[in-house]
Structure 1
Amino acid sequence: MTLNTLIHNTTKNTVTRLLSFVSCLALAGCTLTEIDQSNDFENNGRDITSPKRDTLYWQESLPPGLPMPDSSFQNGLAQQISYLNRIQEKDYLLDNTQTSVADLKQVTQEISQWLKDPTHQPELVAHQLSGQDQRGNVQITGYYVPILPVRHTPDDMYRYPLYRKPSLRNAEDRFPSREAIDFEGALNGQNLEIAYTSSLVDNFFLHVQGSGVVEYENGERKLLSWGGVNGHAYRSVGKELIERGEIDRADISAQSIKQWLRDHPERQQEILSTNPSYLFFSEGPEKPVGAANVPLTPLYSAAVDPSVIPLGAVLLAQVPKLDAYGNLMGHEFRLLLAQDKGGAIKGPGHIDWYQGIGEEAHKNAGQLKHFGKVWLLLPRHSTSTKLIAQ
């Protein structure tokens, strides 16, 4: 079955879905309450004609065809297989859908065979994620690995530390908040500093990205990888600035947030401290790695909520296509690899799409904030995969 068939079947239901949408508007004002207000901007890519569902996953009656990836995907898939081969067999209960590590391995085998022989029809079923609004709309943001100039020791300019994770003396103790660490010196004197940057704002965005390349004064470069978090709840600074009326929701992006913070140095503590979550780093391998501890593949790796999408899963995604100014032009289908997670990625309404290293990746990641759709690919024939009766 081809992708065109999926698109055709979807189009046939447009009238029914539109009637459902009109009814929802008349009875409940659904578009005003189904998504977070900060994501409700013009041309956000959301399909408001899709019917609602009350389960986490919705099994498609027919599997979509798969978009052919480029050669870099095969390297990412090999890393996916490596991850699945080293974790223990277990089941995943995902609301109405149950699967297992064995199922995820079977998916990679089917796709590997298809890549070697495109005439092979993968025996897969697509399970659509319910999304932020239970209509299948998943917000797809982007992340990247920055290159950040640093110093081994602090000076007048480079004076903002990047930290390793501290140890707790007692199990009941709690790590300090962002405000306590960045503005009250809660980690001073513990020899946890890895490097020093010239900007607290750059540190904050490195925390959001989860990893980055640092370049020391002697030209030496090191990769800093995710080294744990302080356990405090994540709060979006972008959402905070929208709610305070500082940035219009249609203009929110990593770039606009960073510019606002630099334009208002006297308010940095006030705004940054609204997000008490704090990320620690470890000096990792040469290539950026995700939570699955495998190297990330630009434009194919994704950060997910593992309670919704298991690490090691292969996804089909309808991702946003943007112009040079960040305006949505449409969507395209792409295979993604669930290889990472993040403090801001919670629930079925959000995934983070890895864009790569450096400034071009930075620009692309900063503009992504639009809705798309996501399908979890599972084997057609399996003893563990099933849709649980409601």
Structure 2
Amino acid sequence: MIFSTFLRPFLLQTKTHLHDLIRPLCLVSFTLLSSCSVNEIDSSNDFNNNGRDTAALKRETLYLKESLPPGLPMPDASFESGLQQQIKYLNRIGDKDFVLENTQTNVADLKVVAQEIGKWLHNPAQQPQLIAHQLSGQDQRGNVQITGYYVPALPVRHLPDEVYRYPLYRKPEHRNLDGTYPSREEIDFENALAGQGLEIAYTSSLVDNFFLHVQGSGVVEYEDGEQKLLSWGGGNGHAYRSLGKELIERGEIDRANISAQSIRQWLSDHPDRNREILSMNPSYLFFSEGPKSPVGAANVPLTPLYSAAVDPKVIPLGSILLAQLPKLDTYGNLIGHEFRLLLAQDKGGAIKGPGHIDWYQGIGEEAHFHAGQLKHFGKVWLLLPENPTPKILIAQ
């Protein structure tokens, strides 16, 4: 069953349905200034073949409610394992309401969605009784930027030496007077956390540390072959600033060529400017030594190609999403889109608002390659029950 064939009438219906909602107001992306602007997305995301649907009609609301199309993209077996982890998370957090902009839901509703999808997996002929709520995206036209993240495997040492001398830290106990912890520059270049016994391991590169912070978790391998998973252990409370955006604005990298790989290459080519550029992002991540499988903010193992990091203010953790995701060739060029079910199981400091989700690619170099290429637009629907229910439990 080719999902895009079934979805095409649904998308056309969406555009017609939106027509009555359009008013001549100045609507801009959440990433831009609130004043009226002809730019609907941030300039760093505006490049040729970025996958953005500029013909979609604008709307005012955060979510647009639509009937579920008569066909869903069948996932592989790993999705069902991830779904079971999702159900465990929902049963663990208990009753909770989520008041969103122009809709609301609760944990009981999210359990119903998981139950409906679970039934459908075992009987694809049974259409899930769900409603698809499309996110407005960066531009109020439904365009959501899809980036990728992965879990790197990084060589480290237990103790510092001449090469491996850059620490990865646990979270400090004491904050600054303003409630934050030291900034990236203070930690990495002024040794603000030295001597507190917070070091977990030592790497050979501050750039490696930076990208590990951006990813949020990673597998480290010590000199004796021991491997540990470092998971998200909290942030320093400083605002996240994108190095990619900074390098684009400075004219160092063309926006069409921005990627994790191009940023890493630029930093390698300009070692004398590493402090200047890395310190532009004061946000800093601390780690905890967790279970053997990578986990996200929902504290469940992440499922490669099915887990996603979201803004919980827009997409509650534990949600199931329908997403139209970019398909790229080996050079990172967009060649189309594909539909996939995603599990909202993680969050990140750079994932804010309805215009951005981060798609988990897995562990290691292949996952790194695919994650680094993703920067294109797609569309995202939050799946909720046709008939909301106050409470329902699912047996684990």
Could you say which TM-score interval applies, normalised by the shorter chain?
over 0.9
Greater displacement, 113-122 / 58-67: 58-67
Aligned CA distance change for structure 1 residues 170 and 156 (closer, same or farther; 3 Å): closer
The 5-angstrom pairing of residues 78-157 of structure 1 reads: 78-157=84-163
Matching residue of 2:312: 306
CA shift, 1:170, in A, is 7.5
Show the counterpart of 1:207: 213
Q: 1:269 corresponds to which residue?
A: 275
Taking the aligned partners of 1:155 and 1:16, their CA distance within structure 2 comes to 63
Question: For residues 95 and 51 of structure 1, do their structure 2 counterparts lie closer, same or farther at Cα, with a shift above 3 Å needed?
Answer: same
Q: Distance in 1 between matches of 2:175 and 2:339?
A: 49
2:233 corresponding residue in structure 1: 227
1:284 and 2:285 matched: no
Per-residue displacement from partner, 1:62-118 (whole Å, max 9, x unpaired)? 545211000000000000000001002111111001100000000000011111111
| Counterpart residue number, 1:186 | 192
Aligned-residue offset at 1:382: 1.3
Matched-pair contact (CA < 8 Å) for 1:232–1:277 = yes
- Tell me by how many angstroms 1:362 deviates: 0.3
Identify the residue that residue 339 of structure 2 maps to in structure 1.
333
Separation in 1, partners of 2:59, 2:68? 18
CA drift at 1:169: 5.9
- 1:172 deviates by 5.0
CA deviation string 1:344-371 (max 9, x = no partner)? 0000000000000000000000000000
- Name the CA distance, whole Å, in 1 between partners of 2:239 and 2:176: 21
Query: TM-score normalized by structure 1?
Result: 0.92
Aligned CA distance change for structure 1 residues 323 and 151 (closer, same or farther; 3 Å): same
Query: Offset of 1:10 from its aligned partner?
Result: 2.5
CA offset digits 1:278-335 (Å, max 9, x no partner):
0000001000000000000000000000000000000000000000000000000000
TM-score under structure 2 length normalisation: 0.91
Alpha-carbon distance in structure 2 between the residues aligned to 1:180 and 1:144: 27
Match of 1:372 in 2: 378
Match of 1:35? Answer: 41
- How much does 1:4 deviate? 3.4
User: Contact conserved, 1:322 with 1:329, CA < 8 A, in 2?
Assistant: yes
C-alpha distance in structure 1 between counterparts of 2:84 and 2:380, whole Å: 22
CA offsets per residue over residues 23-78 of structure 1, 9 Å max, x none? Answer: 999xxxx9951100000000000000111111110001454521100000000000
Structure 1 residue 5, shift from structure 2 partner: 3.9
Q: Once structures 1 and 2 are overlaid, which stretch shifts more, 117-126 or 6-15?
A: 6-15
2:267, 2:274 within 8 Å by CA — same for their partners in 1? yes
Residue aligned with 2:224, SS: coil
Aligned length: 379
Give distance in 1, aligned partners of 2:179 and 2:46: 39
SS in 2 for 1:188: coil
* Match status 1:162 vs 2:165: no
Offset, 1:206: 0.1
| Separation (CA, whole Å) in 1 of partners of 2:45 and 2:94 | 38
Provide Cα deviations, 1:204-252, integer angstroms capped at 9, x if missing partner.
0000000000000011111000000001000000000000000000000
Cα distance change of structure 1 residues 39 and 161 upon mapping to structure 2, 3 Å threshold: same
Asked if 1 retains the 8 angstrom alpha-carbon contact of 2:318 and 2:345, the reply is yes
Q: SS where residue 44 of structure 2 aligns?
A: helix
CA contact (8 A) 1:164 1:193 kept: yes
Residue 342 (structure 1) shift:
0.3
8 Å CA contact retained: 1:308, 1:347: yes
Q: 2:138·2:144 contact (CA, 8 Å) conserved in 1?
A: yes
**Which whole-Å CA distance do the structure 2 matches of 1:13 and 1:296 have between them?**
32
- Confirm or deny: 8 A CA contact 1:17 1:49 kept in the other structure: no
CA offsets per residue over residues 143-179 of structure 1, 9 Å max, x none?
0000000000001100000000001267754201001
> SS where residue 60 of structure 1 aligns?
strand
Instruction: In structure 2, list runs of 5 or more residues that go unmatched.
Output: 27-35, 392-396
Contact preservation (8 Å) 1:63, 1:125: no
Q: Secondary structure at the match of 2:202?
A: strand
Letter in 1 for 2:359: W
In 2, the alpha carbon distance for the partners of 1:63 and 1:17 equals 17
Q: 1:13 to 1:24 in 2, by over 3 A?
A: farther
Match of 1:355 in 2: 361
In the alignment, what sits opposite 2:9?
8
Pick closer, same or farther for the CA change 1:279–1:313 going to 2, 3 Å: same
Cα distance in 2, alignment partners of residues 74 and 45 from structure 1: 29
- Give 1:9 shift: 3.8
Structure 1: which 4+ aligned runs deviate by more than 6 Å? 12-18
Percent sequence identity over aligned pairs: 75
1:6 CA drift (Å) = 3.0
CA contact (8 A) 1:214 1:223 kept: yes
